Amino acid sequence: MTHTLKKLAILVGGGPAPGINSVIGAATIRGALSGCEVVGIRDGFKWIMDGNIDHVTPLTIDAVSRIHFRGGSYIGISRSNPTKSDQQLENCVISLLRLNVDKLITIGGDDTAFSACRLEDRSKGRIRVVHVPKTIDNDLNLPGDICTFGYQTARHIGVEIVKNLMVDARTTSRWYFVVTMGRKAGHLALGIGKAAGATVTMIPEEFPGKVRLKKLVDTLVGAVIKRLSDGRQDGVVIMAEGLVEAMDPQDLQEIEGVERDAHDNLRIAEVNLGELLKSRVQEGLRRYNLKTTIVAKNIGYELRCADPIPFDMEYTRDLGYCATKYLDEGGNAVMITMQDGHFKPLLFSEMMDERTGKTKIRMVDINAERYKISRRYMIRLRRDDFEDPHELAKFAATVGISIEEFRSEFEYLVGDEPPPIHLALR
C-alpha cells in the first residue's frame, strides 16, 4: 500500500520499564528496512500537546542497533496527559502532521493506551496508531495470560535485592518492610515475595473491599509475635504500594494533601507506607512489652530502569517488530500483543468501556482460579496456625500473653483467608 506520508513516530508514556529500548530499536529497524523514516518524539506527549515540535530525535539503524541491551528510554518519557483538554489533543494531531507523520507507535500502560485511543480517533484517519503495552506492575489483562514487558526483569532484580535483605535481616536480627511498585495490582510484590520466600507478602487483592490500616498492622504484629515464639527475631515483609490506594478513606487522614499526577492517580511514591506501618507495628508490639528493629525500604526505581533480562529483550523486540509491520501493512487502532509466540492484535474498541469511555484493559483478576495457589503464599496467619498451640506455648510464658489472648486479638484476621490448596482447586 502506498502512502503520501512516509514517516513513523515513536513515543513513550508513563513510567520506565525494562525493554522500552528493545521496542524502539526493533520498531525502528523494521521501519527503516521498509523505506520509512523513523523519528522519536521526546518525552512522550509533553511537548507536542503544546504544539512544540522541536523535541524530536531521528532514529536510524546505526543509532538503535544496540540500545536493546540497556534500560531506560532512548527518547525519554513523561506522564503528560493530552486527553484532559480537547485543544491539547488536537495539538498532538497537528504537531504530528507538521512533522510529516502518518504512523505512530505509543509505548506505555493503561493511561498511555487511553491517550493513544483518543488520539487515533481525533486524527480521523490521518494518523494510524498502534499501542505497545508496558508496565512492570503486570496490571494489563493481556491475551494468553502473558505478562506485560518489564515485569520479568523487575521481578528478577527485585528478588536479588530481597535475597540480600533476607541475609541482612537474619544476620542483624531485624525486620525489613519492603514496599514494591504496583498501583493497581499486586503481581510484582507477589512475584518477588513468592520467589524469594518472604516471611509475609501483602497485596490489595488479598483484602475484600477497602483495606483497613488496622488489619495491616495487626497482621504484621501477629507475624512478628509468631516468629519470636519460634525463636526468630528476623523477617522480611513484601507489600504492594497499591495498598495505599485501596485503603479506606478514613485511614488516609494522615496522608491527605498528597499530590495526584496528570492522570489523577495518587502519587503513591510520596506516601511512605513502610514508615507508617513500621511506626504502628512497633507501637502494637509495645503493648506486649516487645521491641524489634524494623527497617522500611522502598524498591521500584531500582527495578524499572534496569537492563532487561533476555526474556524481556526477546519479547519486546517481537513487540516492536510487529508494531511497525502492522502499521506498514496498513493496520490501525490496535494494541500489540503476543500469544503463544504469535502476534495478536487487540482492537482499541475491545479495550474501551462503553459506559465510562475509559480503557478497561487494566487489572488482572488475581482471584481467578489460576491464582488460587498464589494466594496460599500470602498472609501466613492461617486458621490452622491457631489450632496448634505449640508455637506460642513457650512464648506465652516469657512475654505474658496467653494463647487465648492471642487468638482473641488476631482471630478476625483469618476470616477472609483462602482455603487450603486441595480445597481451592476442586
Percent of the chain beyond pLDDT 70? 77
**pLDDT in the model for residue 325:** 97
**How many of the other CB atoms lie within 10 Å of CB of 78?**
19
Q: In the chain, what are the domain boundaries?
A: 7-149+308-351, 152-305
pLDDT in tens, 245-260: 888 877 776 555 555 5
| pLDDT exceeds cutoff 70 at 133 | yes
Across all residues in the chain, what is the average pLDDT? 83
- The pLDDT-based confidence of 157 (bands split at 50, 70, 90) is very high
The pLDDT value recorded for residue 255 is 54
**392 pLDDT tier (thresholds 50, 70, 90):** low
pLDDT at residue 385 above 50?
A: no
Q: What is the mean pLDDT of residues 393-403?
A: 59
137 is known as an active-site residue:
yes
Q: Residue 64: is its pLDDT beyond 80?
A: yes
Q: Is the predicted pLDDT of residue 366 greater than 50, yes or no? A: no
Give pLDDT tens digits for 185-240.
Answer: 888 998 999 899 899 999 888 877 888 888 899 889 988 988 888 788 999 999 99
Catalytic residue among 137, 218, 234, 312: 137
pLDDT at 423: 30
Over residues 165-193, mean pLDDT: 93
Residue 375 pLDDT > 70, yes or no? no
| Fold matches, 7-149+308-351 and 152-305 | yes
* pLDDT, tens digit, 9 for 90 and up, residues 278-328: 999 999 999 888 999 999 999 988 999 999 999 999 999 999 999 999 999
CATH number of 7-149+308-351: 3.40.50.450
Q: Quick check: 334 pLDDT over 70? A: yes
In the predicted model, what is the mean pLDDT of residues 71-97?
96
* pLDDT given at position 405: 66
Phi, psi of 294, deg, nearest 5: -125, 130
Percentage of residues in the chain having pLDDT higher than 90: 54
Hey, which CATH number is domain 152-305, 3.40.50.1580, 3.30.2310.20, 3.40.50.460, 1.10.3720.10?
3.40.50.460
